[in-house]
Structure 1
């Protein structure tokens, strides 16, 4: 048996061309049903009239597709972190990268996803390099993988850092699998592809020795 939600009834509704008010134009409905529909239309008409009284200035503008202040703050943190890294202040660099990553992750949902992904790919890859400078290989591996998850194509440095971190931990077979996958994605003839091939050669030599 069909429930009420499955039943569709079409009623003759009239809209006044001048006021846009809705009314029920039917005399053959049961009184209780006609009264219910009339009351619902009355509430709808009241809502319509109240909306018409609003001033245009009170309607908030649509959100910006991209918040320039947030982008500038993230860029400033990234540049400061890069400067700290070049000065071998690795702990400071890690802290600044963390702040930048947290801000990039907090971007509103209406902003283009590609922007956040590009930001995060670079930030995670840079933080992975800072962890590598401290020989914190597991942490570097996690960040490099996060970078590749954000941007798998055109991200040679992150792929390289994944494999290098795995190799430093003696996980040569995993390193080789990641390198083979990255070379398929990035291509063998590019400059980045040649770097990946060079590391693959090192990993394969280590596998032979192992």
Structure 2
């Protein structure tokens, strides 16, 4: 069994930790592996300014909202490809939120669920059922109790010819929102076709 060696050195540029005896960030002889640590340090090296502790980035929140609203404008005019483009930019910006930002996942969850739901609707309008399904599935994972995600998922599944699974999605949505006419009508549509 290799002996654990914690005798380390830092490179001259101060950017990597290495096994002192062998000069490697992964050293089997000393049973150490600093590769992940060194990779993380490399990614953080490019950060110019750390935000103050416990302060979310309001600029990022506003940018995500602006992109979503721009997508909504295009969606309302029937320009679904352009709507998808703006929704995708909003998703990318929200996902790029730094992990040290307080409540980062909560912001991402609240931002992404409606944006992905809207992008799913745009894909549905273009009959891109696989893409619509992927977005709707993510919505149901981010906000399980939100019936709109289950509606989008059901519509995508129905478009893929998977009526039984679509009905299950609509029924799940109805468990969270018993009075949703949208879900009730969608479920009735499937039942009427099955008769």
TM-score (ref. length: structure 1):
0.64
Deviations 1:72-113 (A, max 9, x none): 111111111111111222111111111110111111223312
The aligned residue for residue 3 of structure 1 is none
The aligned residue for residue 49 of structure 1 is none
The aligned residue for residue 81 of structure 1 is 71
Deviations 1:141-185 (A, max 9, x none): 1111111111111x222211111121122211111111222222x
TM-score (ref. length: structure 2):
0.68
SS of the equivalent of 2:60 reads helix
The aligned residue for residue 125 of structure 2 is 133
Aligned ranges 1:190-201 → 2 under 5 Å: 190=179, 192=180, 194-201=181-188
Q: Is the 8 A contact 1:173 1:207 kept in 2?
A: no
The aligned residue for residue 205 of structure 1 is 192
The aligned residue for residue 57 of structure 2 is 67
1:121 aligns with 2:113: yes
Q: Is the 8 A contact 1:81 1:97 kept in 2?
A: yes
The aligned residue for residue 166 of structure 2 is 175
How far off is 1:134 after superposition?
0.8
Once residues 185 and 83 of structure 2 are traced to their aligned partners in structure 1, the CA distance between those partners, rounded to angstroms, is: 28
Q: Is the 8 A contact 1:172 1:206 kept in 2?
A: no
Once residues 75 and 64 of structure 1 are traced to their aligned partners in structure 2, the CA distance between those partners, rounded to angstroms, is: 21
* Change in CA separation of 1:173 and 1:106 when aligned onto 2, cut-off 3 Å: same
The aligned residue for residue 151 of structure 2 is 160
* Change in CA separation of 1:61 and 1:114 when aligned onto 2, cut-off 3 Å: closer
Q: How many residues align?
A: 146
Bigger helix share: 1
Aligned ranges 1:34-113 → 2 under 5 Å: 62-110=52-100, 111-112=102-103, 113=105
CA RMSD of aligned residues (A): 2.0
How far off is 1:63 after superposition?
2.8
Structure 2 unaligned spans of 5+:
1-49
